[in-house]
Each structure stands twice: as structure tokens, then as C-alpha cells.
Amino acid sequence: MHEVLKDRLWRKLEVLPEPQLYEVLDYIEFLEHKYAAAQARQPDALQRFAERLEDGMRVRSVAPKVISGTVGLLGTARKVLRTVEDAGREILNPPAADERGTGSRPPAPREGGSGSDGTR
């Protein structure tokens, strides 16, 4: 999907009240089931949990503000966990440097060795 369409959809979604956003979500899921050529990427475990919780709350006719607050809290927790996970990866897997430790520079010629012209 190109950026112009993404921005246009986002602008339209931002002005809708929350109950209508759930209607839009239901319709998108219907269209996805009917027309999608490929399967959407799978969410992580915490996202799946939040989505199931949100769906369960909708089935029980919980007020949209309550749903939004609850799922928003899970979204915040997910962001924190992702940040911690990224920090852990950086600590455990530092950026790979050249094996010689010289970075991107080529090795310096050895003194007394032969040059490129074959002389010593």
C-alpha cells in the first residue's frame, strides 16, 4: 500500500468515534477474509492476547472507553517490553566490527615487506 493511501485512510479513521472504529475493523476483517490473496502477518503473543481480550469485551458489550483504556494499557506494556527486548539484543549482539578490529579500513602495509611493485 502506498503512503498517500495510508495517510488518507489514517485521516479518515482519526475523526471517527470509537464505536464506529470497531465497525470499520469488523468490515476490514470481513474484506480480508473474502479477498486477501496473502495472509496478514501474525501478531506477537501480547498483541494476540490484547486482541482476544478486546474481542471478548466487545461481545460482552463493555463500554468503548473501558475497552480503550484496558487495551491501551496492554499496548503501552507491549511498547515497554519491545524496548527492553531491543536493548537486550543490543547488549547481547553488539554491532559487528571487522575481525581484525580495524573497522572498514584496509590493513596497513607491513614495514620491510614487499610493495605492490614487487620491490623490498
pTM of the entire predicted model: 0.54
Give me the pLDDT at residue 27, please. 95
Separation of alpha carbons 62 and 70, rounded Å: 11
Amino acid at 34: K
Give me the pLDDT at residue 98, please. 52
CB 18 within 8 A of CB 68: yes
Q: pLDDT tens for residues 94-118?
A: 776 555 555 555 555 555 544 545 5
CB 78 within 8 A of CB 54: no
Separation of alpha carbons 65 and 63, rounded Å: 5
DSSP state of 113: S
Instruction: Look at the block and give the residue holding cell 486482541.
Output: 51
Give me the pLDDT at residue 31, please. 93
Query: Does the pLDDT of residue 2 top 90, yes or no?
Result: no
Give me the pLDDT at residue 108, please. 54
Query: Does the pLDDT of residue 61 top 80, yes or no?
Result: yes
C-alpha cell at position 8:
488518507
Average pLDDT over residues 26-50: 87
